[in-house]
Amino acid sequence: MALKLYNTLTRQKELFTPMAPAKVGMYVCGPTVYGHSHIGHAKSYVSFDVIVRYLRSRGYAVTYIQNITDVGHLLGDANEGEDRLLKQGRLEQKHPMEIAEAYTRSYFEDMDALGILRPDIAPRATGHIIEQIELIKKLVAGGFAYEADGSVYFEVAKDTAYGKLSGRKTEDAETGTRVETKSEKRHPNDFALWKRAEPEHIMRWPSPWSVGFPGWHIECSAMSMKYLGESFDIHGGGMDNQFPHHECEIAQSESATGKPFVKYWIHNNLVTVGGRKMSKSLGNTMMLKETFRKYSPVVVRFFILQSHYRSTLDFTDEALEGASKGLEKLHQTVRSVREAMKLEPGRAAAAEALLDLDGARTIFLEAMDDDFNAPQAIAVLFDIARDVNAGLALKGFSAERLAEIDRFFLETGGQVLGLIPEQLEEKGGADVGELMTLMLDVRQEVRANKLWKLSDAIRDGLAKLGFTVEDAKDGSTSWRRSR
Amino acid sequence: MALKLYNTLTRQKELFTPMAPAKVGMYVCGPTVYGHSHIGHAKSYVSFDVIVRYLRSRGYAVTYIQNITDVGHLLGDANEGEDRLLKQGRLEQKHPMEIAEAYTRSYFEDMDALGILRPDIAPRATGHIIEQIELIKKLVAGGFAYEADGSVYFEVAKDTAYGKLSGRKTEDAETGTRVETKSEKRHPNDFALWKRAEPEHIMRWPSPWSVGFPGWHIECSAMSMKYLGESFDIHGGGMDNQFPHHECEIAQSESATGKPFVKYWIHNNLVTVGGRKMSKSLGNTMMLKETFRKYSPVVVRFFILQSHYRSTLDFTDEALEGASKGLEKLHQTVRSVREAMKLEPGRAAAAEALLDLDGARTIFLEAMDDDFNAPQAIAVLFDIARDVNAGLALKGFSAERLAEIDRFFLETGGQVLGLIPEQLEEKGGADVGELMTLMLDVRQEVRANKLWKLSDAIRDGLAKLGFTVEDAKDGSTSWRRSR
């Protein structure tokens, strides 16, 4: 079996052959930390998490880098306008680094909740200003970039390959927004590598050109090459980053090194909400912390993986509720397997014929090998769950077989897809309060039947477990914890 | 009432008057992230957490900065020897930044578990190389530092005030370890601001003097002044950092700016284990993750706060077990108050005389005002808990009074000391399994008494709660979750 993945650069599925055998260097564009994460972040990082997990399960040693953009890049596609962290800082009356600190934490909280493995390094843009300056120096020295009034721009005309990823060279027209800045550029397509800081710009560093700050694109080139080398295997990100961000990354990196930057470009598709694009102006942005109040994070993860990473994902409450029920069915099967493992061994023969674990594993791997087709891989789990349930009803599995089934679910749905935990919460079970209410009702009935000894035994049994039962004069009974 | 704190700089308790009214800038030396945190880290960061919490409860707007040392400083007091992150990276076969990433996460996990509020900014040393270089440039230009073979040293003889914090100027003799490096210095007391990188040194940055890395002390000067200004209110750290680290910080900062660096220096004392200094060579380092397996983090926090931050803390299992019992008593009182709030109001008069909440609050604040005397403040909580328990036994508190008591505990033991959570776990209560065992025993007895209707009612009641009861042919009964 061979892993194929869709490479945006070539617009086709390609056989995956990493540059060094058994080692994979992978970089994914991380968040700009000026607000809480939304469902779009979840889609992107769950997608790449499954890719990392699958590559590791196939034996690759993956070094996974995901940056934190804590230099607040300018609003607007044209890289003009206001700095996002500065703006948020002003709103919250905080230093931009406090904003970055708070939302970096918030980001990882949400990603941890979604079962996303942490990147091996999460380099901060502010932590790599020197590396960015060094790269810009190289581009200026090589004639690919020019200075203008303390800012430095990449000259797109010098890079004949520009546009090879996205097929685009020009940003959508946004004329007249900040004419004086644009006029610094030799050509409107040129993009900023370094910007001279206006007096009100708090985040600023000395450089050979001005006290300023790096442009939007240079950090990803500098940090990916620092930790993965000048050429590496996989670069990922959201589809909306293809142009201009990734196109600019390629231009900067390949002009500076003369080497191919990235072998495989992987882009995840976006999330819509009720069929419409998610946007601040529509007010339909699904923040994760809010979503988690209604749906458990693993349900959100399951919902995301039910569609392919290159498909759009439409968020509706109905879809989420469906996902919740679907995942619970899968979990219930695993729970039943684990409970059956505690009982006496089954009679083996009857149900065995139903169940083809090896075949299922093969189909699972084929699905994942086909451009990480998680929805198809999930379908395999449901198929096998149906057979397992039928077999369980027949009490048909031996202890060894049950362990094998459990291991199958853990390896496929657990380690690779991150949907089946080693310990399943005992979901849907009653809590202590409900049981105590029932227990006291029973005791009332016992007393009504004048079984005083049993009534006392219940009281004493509960006392041993740490509950004090109090019988009021009016015949009612209450309980409280005694320790 | 006025807050007094012990200032290491003046060796006396001083009235606390921050530079700007109602605002406090505070910097505490954070961890070097090359390993998991131990009980010594817990003592330091719990101590400063209570200081921050108390200052905030007194109405100060505290900006709390705590650095992450991810440039792995050299082993050995003399700032010579091997880089800690490089060494750990070699042991784990990882890039030093992977080591930093993993152990930064581990650090915050442990601190979060201890209820330590996150610093407003946790600046990384690697994220502030430029700021460090700029500060060193200033020191060289001012004649306080000199270059030698690509390294830069601070010339202690140029700073007449050197030694004013610790009373020391010279490190303990450690002769002959790396003679060739030492000979670069004009005087053995001089300390490194910048070190030229040996070829095997992975973490390296360009500078005006060499491709190298900053010395151990300069990051704290650069980062504290960046976020808090050239003069700020409070600098904290472990007592072992007084010399050379904090002495060097003062020398660098005040030489560079000509202004007083820090108004109040606060140092926490250290942890011993069974009366002996904790050290790797003795093999008695109490790692937090290990400790938390045996004692809950809030018990560790309580244990730490039972002694004053300027006292040594001796870690023994007996002491921890004692702390566990002590805290549970306090929690039980709060739990009882909250349970009483759910019942009908009490008869007020009887117990009121026992309880002087306002008086207790005053003594609590006096204790905290006296150099953050947490052990005395805790004693107040236990005194009031005794009175509360006595009052509860008399059913003596009105609903309003109970709410007031709860609020008192939350404000003092909760917000300030971080020992009383808003939601207390129902500790010591039975779990569902134990209750189910009792329930099925009761049902057996009910059946033995031929109360078939009640037996069925129990089965149906449990089914509603999500438990399936199965009666085997041999008369035994088992249960499993049905959802």
- For residue A84, is pLDDT > 60? yes
C-alpha distance from residue B191 to each of B138, B140, B167 (Å): 16, 13, 17
- pLDDT number for residue B269: 97
- pLDDT number for residue A19: 97
Pairing of strands A271-273, A313-315: parallel
Q: With an 8 Å Cβ cutoff, are B429 and A481 in contact?
A: yes
- For residue A1, is pLDDT > 80? no
How far does A183 lie from chain B, in Å, by closest CA? 31
**Mean pLDDT on A375-393:** 96
Look at A139-153, A416-430, B5-19, B286-300 and tell me which has the smallest mean pLDDT.
Answer: A416-430
Q: With an 8 Å Cβ cutoff, are B95 and A227 in contact?
A: yes
Model ipTM? Answer: 0.84
Tokens 């830069």 -> residue: B152
Domain extents for chain A? 4-268, 316-416, 432-481
- pLDDT number for residue A292: 93
Residue whose C-alpha is closest to residue A96's, from A233, A200, A222: A200
What phi and psi values does residue A105 have, to the nearest 5 degrees?
Answer: -60, -45
Q: Tell me the C-alpha distance between A416 and B75, whole Å.
A: 40
- pLDDT tens by residue, B232-275: 999 999 999 999 999 999 999 999 999 999 999 999 999 999 99
DSSP state of B259: S
Average pLDDT, chain B: 91
- pLDDT number for residue B82: 82
- For residue B347, is pLDDT > 80? no
DSSP state of B32: B
Size of interface A-B (CB pairs under 8 A): 147
Residues 6+ apart with CB under 8 A from A202: A86, A89, A95, A96
Q: Is B64 helix (H, G, I), strand (E, B) or coil?
A: strand
Q: Are A28 and A235 in contact (CB under 8 A)?
A: yes
- pLDDT number for residue B464: 79
- pLDDT tens by residue, B146-201: 999 999 999 999 999 999 999 999 876 544 444 444 578 999 999 999 999 999 89
Comparing CB atoms, the residue among B434, B436, B454 nearest residue A442 is B454
Look at A16-20, A477-481, B145-149 and tell me which has the smallest mean pLDDT.
Answer: A477-481
Residue whose C-alpha is closest to residue B28's, from B59, B51, B56: B51
Residue B150 is encoded by which pair of tokens? 């690509």
Please report, rounded to a whole number, the percentage of residues in chain A having pLDDT higher than 90.
72
What CATH code is assigned to A4-268?
3.40.50.620
- pLDDT tens by residue, A200-213: 899 999 999 999 99
Residues 6+ apart with CB under 8 A from A422: A410, A414
Q: Tell me the C-alpha distance between B244 and B266, whole Å.
A: 15
- For residue B428, is pLDDT > 80? no
- pLDDT tens by residue, A324-344: 999 999 999 999 999 888 876
- pLDDT number for residue A433: 75
Q: With an 8 Å Cβ cutoff, are A480 and B339 in contact?
A: yes
- For residue A157, is pLDDT > 60? yes
Q: CB count, 10 Å around CB of B82? A: 14
What CATH code is assigned to A316-416?
1.20.120.640
Q: Where are the alpha helices (DSSP H) in A262-373?
A: 288-294, 297-305, 317-342, 349-352, 357-369
- For residue A193, is pLDDT > 80? yes
- pLDDT number for residue B180: 44
Q: Where are the alpha helices (DSSP H) in A343-420?
A: 349-352, 357-369, 374-393, 399-409
Q: Which residue has the higher pLDDT, A311 or A480?
A: A311
- pLDDT tens by residue, B433-457: 778 888 888 998 898 899 999 998 8
Q: Tell me the C-alpha distance between A52 and B208, whole Å.
A: 40
- For residue A41, is pLDDT > 90? yes
Look at A64-68, A451-455, B303-307, B416-420 and tell me which has the smallest mean pLDDT.
Answer: A451-455
User: How many residues in total does chain A contain?
Assistant: 483
Tokens 């309060």 -> residue: A433
Q: Tell me the C-alpha distance between B385 and B391, whole Å.
A: 10
Sign of torsion over alpha carbons A110, A114, A115, A116:
negative
Cα B267 from chain centre: 13
- pLDDT number for residue B175: 44
- pLDDT number for residue A175: 44
Q: Are B306 and B358 in contact (CB under 8 A)?
A: no
The domain B18-268 is placed in CATH, from the list 3.40.720.10, 3.50.50.60, 1.10.760.10, 3.40.50.620, at 3.40.50.620
When scoring A438, A455, A476, A482 by the number of chain B Cβ atoms within 10 A, the one with the most, hence best to mutate, is A438
Look at A208-222, A415-429, B361-375, B378-392 and tell me which has the smallest mean pLDDT.
Answer: A415-429
Residues of B in contact with A94 (CB under 8 A): 120
- For residue B101, is pLDDT > 80? yes
Look at A42-51, A88-97, A138-147, B122-131 and tell me which has the smallest mean pLDDT.
Answer: A88-97
- For residue B478, is pLDDT > 80? no
Q: Are B268 and B309 in contact (CB under 8 A)?
A: yes
- pLDDT number for residue A344: 66
DSSP state of B425: -
Tokens 């820090």 -> residue: B262
What phi and psi values does residue A287 have, to the nearest 5 degrees?
Answer: -75, 145
Residues 6+ apart with CB under 8 A from B225: B135, B232, B253, B257, B261
- For residue A430, is pLDDT > 90? no
Q: Which residue has the higher pLDDT, A379 or A460?
A: A379
Residue B442 is encoded by which pair of tokens? 């009761």
- pLDDT tens by residue, A395-408: 888 888 999 999 99
- For residue B81, is pLDDT > 80? no
Instruction: Determine the residue type at A39.
Output: I
Q: With an 8 Å Cβ cutoff, are A429 and B483 in contact?
A: yes
Residue whose C-alpha is closest to residue B39's, from B320, B266, B233, B235: B320
Q: CB count, 10 Å around CB of B163? A: 17
Residue whose C-alpha is closest to residue B62's, from B17, B114, B27: B27
DSSP state of A123: -
How far does A325 lie from chain B, in Å, by closest CA? 12
Q: Are A369 and A361 in contact (CB under 8 A)?
A: no
**Mean pLDDT on A106-133:** 98
Q: Are A85 and A72 in contact (CB under 8 A)?
A: yes
Q: For chain A, count helices (H), then strands (E).
A: 16, 15
Q: Tell me the C-alpha distance between B102 and B36, whole Å.
A: 9
Per-position DSSP letters for A441-453, written without gaps between them: HHHHHHHHTT-HH
Residue B443 is encoded by which pair of tokens? 């049902």
Residues of B in contact with A436 (CB under 8 A): 435
Minimal-distance CA residue of chain A relative to B468:
A429
- pLDDT number for residue A77: 43
Average pLDDT, chain A: 91
Residues 6+ apart with CB under 8 A from B53: B117, B415, B416, B417, B418
Q: Tell me the C-alpha distance between B253 and B308, whole Å.
A: 30
Q: Are A33 and A68 in contact (CB under 8 A)?
A: yes
How far does B96 lie from chain A, in Å, by closest CA? 10
- pLDDT number for residue B408: 98
Q: Are B203 and B71 in contact (CB under 8 A)?
A: yes
Q: Tell me the C-alpha distance between A243 and A169, whole Å.
A: 8
Residues 6+ apart with CB under 8 A from B458: A438, A442, B439, B442, B443, B446, B469
Tokens 């140029």 -> residue: B158
Residues 6+ apart with CB under 8 A from B124: A124, A127, B67, B68, B70, B100
Q: CB count, 10 Å around CB of A310? A: 16
Q: Are A126 and A71 in contact (CB under 8 A)?
A: yes
- pLDDT number for residue B476: 76
When scoring A66, A97, A328 by the number of chain B Cβ atoms within 10 A, the one with the most, hence best to mutate, is A97
Look at A198-212, B138-152, B460-474 and tell me which has the smallest mean pLDDT.
Answer: B460-474
Q: With an 8 Å Cβ cutoff, are A130 and B130 in contact?
A: yes
Comparing CB atoms, the residue among B435, B466, B480 nearest residue A428 is B466
Q: Are A110 and A41 in contact (CB under 8 A)?
A: yes
How far does B11 lie from chain A, in Å, by closest CA? 33
- φ/ψ region of B348 (left if φ > 0, alpha if ψ in -120 to 50, else beta) reads left
- pLDDT tens by residue, B45-56: 999 999 999 999
Minimal-distance CA residue of chain A relative to B483:
A428
- pLDDT number for residue A176: 42
C-alpha distance from residue B165 to each of A227, B219, B228 (Å): 41, 19, 20
